[in-house]
Structure formats: C-alpha cells, structure tokens
A and B are shown apart, each in its own frame.
Chain A
C-alpha cells in the first residue's frame, strides 16, 4: 500500500496556516463531552494534556513513574532550538527547516518539518511565560549557544538542565489543569493494551502498578506520547523504565511502525566501566563547543594523556571535517569515534573511548568560564568516573540515545488507526534518519502545545462522543488478554532473570544492528532474536504475583515487547539497503566512509504492518517528496 501523509499542498510557508484554517473545530460548549486519553506525560504528553485540558476537553493522563515530573525528558541537558534569530547570525525558519531536513539525511517529510520550524519560536515564548529560567545575558536578554550540526546559535538552554526545566514548565501547566479538574492524572499506571473498536482507537487497558489492578479506560481519542525505544540495546542513555511497550501494543492492534531501524547513537557518553552496568550516562553534546576530540596517533599508545605531545595526537574530527570540526553531527561524530577505537587507538578500559579535551579552552577562557558553562556536567563525570576533567581530559564513547523511528503518523499526528494520535519521540515524523541536537525537545513541545490542540479537533468534530463504554466486549477481551500475559510470566518459573534476557538481547542488537549494520549482521540477529524470545517464554523467572506492586513483572512485560520489536527493527535495517543518517550499512559508504544514500530506491518512509509474532510484517511505503530542498549529498566537510 502507498501511504499518504495527508500533507497540505501549496507554498510550504503557508501550509500550516492554511491547514489550520481548513480543519474543523469543536464548539467550546461541547469540548467537555469528549474524553481524551493521553498516555505519557513527558514534554509531548505533558504539554498536550495541559493544553487540551485548558481548552476544555475532559482529559485523563497516564505515566508509569510516580509523578509526571519524572518523564525521561527530564534528562535532556543541552538545549532546545528555535529560529528566533536573536543573535542576528542569519537564522530563519527556512534555515532551521533546511538544517533539520538535511540533518535527517532527507528522510523526513517537508511539511512536518516546516511546521516544526515555524512553531519553534512560539515554544520559547510559551516556556518563558511559564517561568522556565532560560539562561540570560547581563542585559537580561535570552542567551543562545550553538549545537551539533548547526552553524548558527539557535539553542536556548537552562544551565545543563534544559529538559528538566522545560518538563517542569509543562508539568506545572499540567498541575494547574489537574487542580482545575480538567485533567485527571494517573501516575504509576502502565498502558498494556490499546482498545480498538470498529477500527478506531477508543481506549487503553492499563495496569495500576501499585495494586496490580487491570482495567480499561475508554475515551474518544488516544494520544500516545510514550517516548523512545533505544532500551532495546539494554545499555543506553534512556531511563530504566523507557520501553517500546505502549507503541508496540498499538502496533499489534494495527498501527504501523515506521522506520524502526533509525536509531541515534550519541557521541558523548561516559564509557562503560564493567559488565554489571545498568545504563549509560550522556554528557551533553554542548561539551563539544569547547572540548576537542582526539586519540593518540600511534596504535596502542597507552601513555597518560598529559604525556602525549600535540604532534602525537590526532584531532580526528577537526582533521576530517574542517568546517564543522568538533561540532560535526552526531552520527558522524559517533562513527568517527568508533573508527578510532576499532583502529586500536581508543583510550581507557578496553580501548572503548576517545578523549574530549578542555585544556585549550581552559587556557583560552579560564577555568571559571568552563565551570560556569558545564560545571554540573564535570561534576557528574567525576561522580561516575572519579576523575577531574578540569585536570585530565574526559573519556567519551558513543551510546544509543534516541529513536527517530516510531509509530507512523500523518500530518495531523494521527496514526493509520483513526483516533490514535502519536506525539514526541514515539512518532516517526520530523527527524528523518538522524536527529539534530536540541530538536527533540522542540518537537515534543511543538506537538504537545501547538499541533495536537488543533489537529485533534478535526478528528473529534467528525465523531460522536462517548460511544464506547467500559463494558464493551472489546474492553473485556483486552483486560482478559493482558491478564493472561501477566499470569504467564509468573507461571513459567524458569531459571533466568528478566535482566539476563534483556542483556542478551541488547548485546545482539548493539553488535549487529547498532552503529554499523550489514546484511550479514542483520541476518544473524534475525536468527538469534527468535531463539532468545523462545527461551524467554520457557525459562524466565518472575517472582511474586500480578496482584501487587511487582517491579519484576513490569520489567518482564517490557522486555517481552522488546524481544518482539527487535525483530522488526532488524528487519527494517536489513530491508533498507542503503545508508542514511543513523542507519549505517557498511556495504553502502562513500570512499571517505560517509553514509551513502540510495534515493532512487529508498526515498520513502517504511511503515510496517503487524501480521503476528514471528510472522513477516507487511511493508507500506510513504514516498518522500522534496520540493523545497534539493536532495543532495549531506556534507559536513
């Protein structure tokens, strides 16, 4: 099937305004008759629930943490982009649009990206109004810095805690609506199934993580804002609870999963220290503004960094990408780091690391300036590694970080299942095959504050509210299915823990479908994943019962879904016989090792339809048209 993104036509700079005018509206007096279920309260979900509640809809919001304030958006450090052009350095909506399309290696939809760039400015205003303490200069104006992949300073930041501050802004707006009674919040609640009635999304089945109760909430629309899936690699920069579960359950109920193989590996993470590690910690990419990446020129040179003179150092990013230098986009910087390590010039335990050196910046700007800019990051680094990065260079290594793929949505952020909307990292729309730094926060808030409030009305205005009740047979069946799954987990009583399975899966995924993939490695993964899955269902050990607070059980469900999802992700990586952005197939590279796209055959979004566990999914293609940006080789030289 050829999918249609339903993008408005005409001059791109008018598309969103025109579309907004063309959409239907819901009469203010009728809004409260519509119930909207918002799953996930990170930047996307928090902003959506607050905005929809404020408009007068009857909103129920869900998250698995004990408070909406803890969604993993909280961890974003670096900043958020907007085309404000405050520094007067040549930025514009068009440039942000262009950079995002190019950064995504021409695998995103033009209209969606344009809209994102257009509303980016409103986001900053909105957050300032909420009291988000963005960095200011001495005159009191908002401060900007530059971020990976951009030659203009368009990144707004709040110390090293931008995601936290933006999320707390959305959270406070949400809190206001909870108090006002327009939003009902269900924390410690996990969505375990999507209820589809007559082809439309009409509810979700959840597990109350405190009591273990399984029940269905029905509504007139479901908005999934459940974040990314890179925990499929086990070790990643995501929080322990981040999972593909909500998206996967929706996928199993008919929603197409688009481009699952597009995952982003972040170049500046703290290297792994041992095999008992549970997660990797990101160091903000903003560090690359003042840090210089290098490795020893000689293989196996294990002198202390201070002992290696400049002429024996290879500042490989500056050498290979003179105009972007240390600020080369993530996929390029990550791969370059891995290349150095694969070439036996890595540093630190196991040679899994490269230096990020601040010595020359400290010399130039003084330690106090560096401390002011990155103090908390240096602190964090020291806590984890016991090393003082003001004195010795940091060691960094790439780690899985972000998923560009996600549930397929049209221009309205609605999936192919009517009534099911998907926002934020959980959808696939704007980042193409690679996301630029500081643009995920922008997307989450754009979707939540400025897109869904309009587009959902267009759907709701066409349906009758409250048609499905909680005693509908589909709801009952869904509760039954979920219950059966949970019972199965506890009854297996095998020998291996959930974490052991997760680790095993992660290793396969990282080695075979990680930063570099090949036909061979994907095929191998496709052999092994079903085996692990099979063993899981025979040999997993989950203690306790379903009718209580049971973290093992929660985790078992998430890992079980990863075990199914991993196969789709690998299949997608195998089918996409080209390299683009974060998807790097070793067979397809330029002579200098850059990703080599195949626009002839793969200039489309791949949306997969579920056909059963272990069964070949069906591929639907949404062709991508580039009318405003020339399809060009992405060059950061």
Chain B
C-alpha cells in the first residue's frame, strides 16, 4: 500500500451493551494499521474482523449507504454526534482527521426516546412516529393537479429543499442537551409550510407533530443550537423559529 508509512494506530474506547436492559460499559480496543484514506466505519470493520477471528462479539453499529444519505449511521465520537466534521456523517468521516496514537471515544446516540438496542445501535422509531403524526400532505395517489399548475417561487422551493435535506439520522437529538427532536420536526414542518401544497394542513400538522414530540419522550427546545452543529446536513435552527411561528399561528386559528 502506498500510504503504508502514514498508517496509524489508535486506541478506541467503545460503548458495549448487550441489550436494552443490560448495563453497558466501555471496552478498549486497538485499531492497527489504519489508513488515512479509510472511512471511520471501514476502520471499525477492520476491528470487527479481528474480533470475529478471535471468536468475540463484533461491535454492533448501524450503517447502510455509507455515502451520507440514508441516515442510518449513528455514533457519537469524542462527544460529538457524527464526529464533528462539518456537514459529515460518520460513514463519510475519513481517518485522515485523526492522528497516530489518538484515543477515540465511541458512544451511541443517547436520549430517552432512543433506547439502545445493542452497543452503538439505537431505536429511532420515534422519529417515524413524529412523521406519521402529520409530516405529509394528504395527497391521494392519482387525481392530482399538473405539476406546473402551482407556481412555486424559486426562493420558496429552495427554502423547502434546504429543510427537506434532513436525513432523519437523529444526531440533532443526540447532540441536544435536552434530548429534543425539535430540529428534525421543524425541518419537516417548515418544508411543508412554505409550499402551497402543504399549507392547507399546516395548522393541524404543526400541532399534531409537536404533541407527538412530547408523547415520544423528547425534551423541549431551549435554543441551545447544538442540534445544528451536530447535523450532517447543516439543517438550520431558523426552521425551529419557523415551527414556533407556525405553532403560534395555529393557536390563533
């Protein structure tokens, strides 16, 4: 390998927990011969291959697309969800941001609404529940108007797209000191509130979604803005302001 001389050895402190009710603890592993061009998950793959060969239980972690779009990967690295590289999911984090000899702490998303399934894998079903409460337009399949029947100013379309980029990873919750899913919820509320298609149900939607937020056990937003810092898609907290405004509007109706 061309980069062999640059390869690193790292000490990993990984949260291991057998199941939801079992106590968890950190285990220490050494990651050897890590190439700077590897992704973080590929580094963990290597550690796991080694563990399997030793007959040990490999580290369980969620992942799928490995290109930063499915939102499946979820690890808190050294205290920051997704590892703290701007607008980057952990699957897109590359090892070149670490130095030889670094100690790395790897923990699961922690929030009451996200119970741990195993090791670094958590149950984020609550995010689906929030969308089910109203994160849609009630369009029937078929029988809708022509796509160009509604003119949508480019700025509105762009604003909606900015909000719609959320990948539902839950890093905002993991990063929020209150375990609040406000950023996630506000992104969907804002996307649909700005588009004419979504306006008809805006009142119902914002009420139902924020209520569900509470029922699912998420905390309240106190404007720490950690969520935006953790968000791999850079979803802006201005959408939380939009949600608040939409909510106040709904109270007046």
Check A133/B148 contact, CB under 8 A, given A66-B125, A380-B67: no
- Decide if A278 is an interface residue (CB 8 Å cutoff): yes
A424 → chain B closest CB, angstroms: 16
**Are B66 and A210 in contact, with the CB atoms below 8 A?**
no
Q: How many residues of A contact B (CB 8 A)?
A: 84
**Are A74 and B65 in contact, with the CB atoms below 8 A?**
yes
Check A54/B140 contact, CB under 8 A, given A133-B164, A383-B94, A549-B121: yes
A272 → chain B closest CB, angstroms: 10
**Are A129 and B125 in contact, with the CB atoms below 8 A?**
no
- Decide if B131 is an interface residue (CB 8 Å cutoff): yes
**Are A161 and B195 in contact, with the CB atoms below 8 A?**
no
Partner of A175, one of B63, B65, B136: B136
* Set of chain B residues within 8 Å of A466, measured between Cβ atoms: none
- Decide if B223 is an interface residue (CB 8 Å cutoff): no
Q: Which of A60-76 contact B (CB under 8 A)?
A: 65-70, 72, 74-75
Q: Which of B65-118 contact A (CB under 8 A)?
A: 65-72, 85, 87-88, 92, 94, 96, 117-118
* Set of chain B residues within 8 Å of A38, measured between Cβ atoms: none
- Decide if B135 is an interface residue (CB 8 Å cutoff): yes
Partner of A541, one of B37, B42, B52: B52
- Decide if A320 is an interface residue (CB 8 Å cutoff): no
- Decide if A130 is an interface residue (CB 8 Å cutoff): yes
Assembly CA distance A161 to B71 (angstroms): 13
Partner of A140, one of B55, B124, B154: B154
Q: Which of A349-388 contact B (CB under 8 A)?
A: 349, 379-380, 383-384, 386
* Set of chain B residues within 8 Å of A279, measured between Cβ atoms: 66-67
- Decide if A439 is an interface residue (CB 8 Å cutoff): no
**Are B195 and A131 in contact, with the CB atoms below 8 A?**
yes
- Decide if B226 is an interface residue (CB 8 Å cutoff): no
Partner of B148, one of A141, A161, A499: A141
A574 → chain B closest CB, angstroms: 32
Assembly CA distance A273 to B152 (angstroms): 43
Most buried by A among B39, B46, B58, B64: B64
**Are A51 and B141 in contact, with the CB atoms below 8 A?**
yes
Most buried by B among A86, A131, A161, A278: A131
Assembly CA distance A239 to B63 (angstroms): 9
**Are B195 and A277 in contact, with the CB atoms below 8 A?**
no
**Are A276 and B92 in contact, with the CB atoms below 8 A?**
no
* Set of chain A residues within 8 Å of B148, measured between Cβ atoms: 86, 141-142
- Decide if A240 is an interface residue (CB 8 Å cutoff): yes
B5 → chain A closest CB, angstroms: 14
* Set of chain B residues within 8 Å of A544, measured between Cβ atoms: 57
A-B contact count (CB 8 A): 222
**Are A66 and B66 in contact, with the CB atoms below 8 A?**
no
Partner of B136, one of A138, A173, A274, A499: A173
**Are A349 and B2 in contact, with the CB atoms below 8 A?**
yes
**Are A75 and B65 in contact, with the CB atoms below 8 A?**
yes
Check A241/B147 contact, CB under 8 A, given A130-B197, A172-B135, A173-B139: no
Most buried by B among A124, A133, A136, A551: A133
**Are B69 and A161 in contact, with the CB atoms below 8 A?**
yes
**Are A278 and B197 in contact, with the CB atoms below 8 A?**
no
Partner of A67, one of B39, B127, B140: B127
* Set of chain B residues within 8 Å of A589, measured between Cβ atoms: none
**Are B64 and A543 in contact, with the CB atoms below 8 A?**
no
- Decide if A552 is an interface residue (CB 8 Å cutoff): yes
Most buried by B among A122, A128, A278: A128
Residue of A nearest to B166 (CB): A168
Assembly CA distance A96 to B114 (angstroms): 46
**Are A176 and B140 in contact, with the CB atoms below 8 A?**
no
**Are B55 and A129 in contact, with the CB atoms below 8 A?**
no
* Set of chain A residues within 8 Å of B66, measured between Cβ atoms: 239-240, 278-279, 281
Assembly CA distance A69 to B59 (angstroms): 24
* Set of chain A residues within 8 Å of B42, measured between Cβ atoms: 276-278
Assembly CA distance A488 to B137 (angstroms): 47
**Are A128 and B53 in contact, with the CB atoms below 8 A?**
no
**Are A136 and B154 in contact, with the CB atoms below 8 A?**
yes
**Are A179 and B64 in contact, with the CB atoms below 8 A?**
no
**Are B52 and A552 in contact, with the CB atoms below 8 A?**
yes
A141 → chain B closest CB, angstroms: 5
Most buried by B among A137, A138, A383: A383
Assembly CA distance A246 to B49 (angstroms): 26
Residue of B nearest to A496 (CB): B53
Check A134/B136 contact, CB under 8 A, given A70-B72, A497-B52: no
**Are B52 and A172 in contact, with the CB atoms below 8 A?**
no
Per-position binary interface string of chain A over residues 136-168, scored 1 when its CB falls under 8 Å from any chain B CB and 0 otherwise: 111111100000000000000011010011001
**Are B142 and A126 in contact, with the CB atoms below 8 A?**
yes
* Set of chain A residues within 8 Å of B117, measured between Cβ atoms: 210, 549
Partner of A70, one of B70, B133, B142: B70
Per-position binary interface string of chain A over residues 86-100, scored 1 when its CB falls under 8 Å from any chain B CB and 0 otherwise: 100000000000000
**Are A65 and B72 in contact, with the CB atoms below 8 A?**
yes
Partner of B37, one of A68, A133, A239, A273: A273
Assembly CA distance A401 to B123 (angstroms): 30
Check A274/B3 contact, CB under 8 A, given A179-B133, A549-B118: yes
**Are B150 and A128 in contact, with the CB atoms below 8 A?**
yes
* Set of chain B residues within 8 Å of A137, measured between Cβ atoms: 154
Assembly CA distance A301 to B129 (angstroms): 57
Assembly CA distance A385 to B245 (angstroms): 42
Partner of B142, one of A67, A75, A450: A450
A391 → chain B closest CB, angstroms: 18
- Decide if A171 is an interface residue (CB 8 Å cutoff): yes
Residue of A nearest to B140 (CB): A54
* Set of chain B residues within 8 Å of A159, measured between Cβ atoms: 161, 165
**Are B131 and A175 in contact, with the CB atoms below 8 A?**
yes
A588 → chain B closest CB, angstroms: 35
**Are B167 and A164 in contact, with the CB atoms below 8 A?**
yes
- Decide if A178 is an interface residue (CB 8 Å cutoff): yes
**Are A75 and B67 in contact, with the CB atoms below 8 A?**
yes
Partner of A131, one of B88, B137, B158: B137
- For the complex of A and B, list the 6 residue pairs with the smallest distance between their C-beta atoms, beginning with the closest: A140-B151, A172-B136, A129-B139, A129-B144, A133-B160, A136-B157
A-B contact sample (16 more), CB < 8 A, given A164-B165, A277-B38, A281-B67 = A54-B140, A67-B168, A70-B64, A74-B71, A75-B70, A126-B141, A164-B69, A173-B139, A175-B132, A178-B128, A185-B128, A240-B66, A274-B37, A453-B141, A497-B52, A543-B56
Q: Can you offer 19 A-B residue contacts whose CB atoms are under 8 A? A: A47-B141, A54-B140, A66-B124, A67-B128, A69-B71, A69-B131, A75-B65, A128-B144, A131-B136, A133-B161, A133-B164, A133-B191, A133-B195, A176-B136, A276-B42, A380-B68, A380-B92, A449-B141, A544-B57
**Residues of A participating in the B interface, judged by any CB pair closer than 8 Å:** 47, 50-51, 54, 65-70, 72, 74-75, 84, 86, 122, 124-142, 158-159, 161, 164-165, 168, 171-173, 175-176, 178-179, 185, 187, 210, 239-241, 273-279, 281-282, 349, 379-380, 383-384, 386, 449-450, 453, 495, 497, 499-500, 541-544, 548-549, 551-552
